[in-house]
Amino acid sequence: MRKILLALTIIMAVPFLSFAAFPVNYNAAYDITEKDGVFKNDTYGISVSATRPMKPMKEFTLTYKFDRPVKSVKFKSNMEMDMGKYEYEGKKVSDTEFTVSQTLVKCMSGRTKWYTKADITYMDGKTTTFYIFYDVK
């Protein structure tokens, strides 16, 4: 009986333990919850603005502006669970501006910290990854 209870406890706990580890290191300098930011990624400049408030189940838009021409940007949120869309193609406004609209769910574990990962391909062929963070409460 103890083995059955232990097995059931583990089975029930595994989904919640998967929420425990944040998949990337949080960096408060890249948190745009309250205000837009201007950042340096490698040698290129990036500014990110957001429509606010960022709330669960409410669409918000992130606007990325680059100081160099960009070929494409693919976005991912940290919602790689079976709870909705988490990969987004950036919408090109110009060679130096992309937007992405997202709708995030409320995390079942109660966590509110999210990130968006931008995989950026510049016109010169250089690729880089850039993370921003925010609270969705």
- Collect the ranges in the chain with pLDDT lower than 50: 14-20, 82
Check residue 119 and give its pLDDT: 92
Taking CA atoms, 122 is separated from 2, 93, 94, 97, in Å, by: 58, 15, 13, 12
Across the chain, what does the average pLDDT equal? 82
pTM of the model: 0.78
Query: Which residue type, as a one-letter code, is found at position 38?
Result: V
Check residue 24 and give its pLDDT: 79
Interatomic CA distance for residues 87 and 90, integer angstroms: 10
Check residue 128 and give its pLDDT: 92
Name the CATH topology of 22-135. Answer: Immunoglobulin-like (2.60.40)
**Annotated domain spans of the chain:** 22-135
Query: Which residue type, as a one-letter code, is found at position 103?
Result: T
Check residue 17 and give its pLDDT: 45
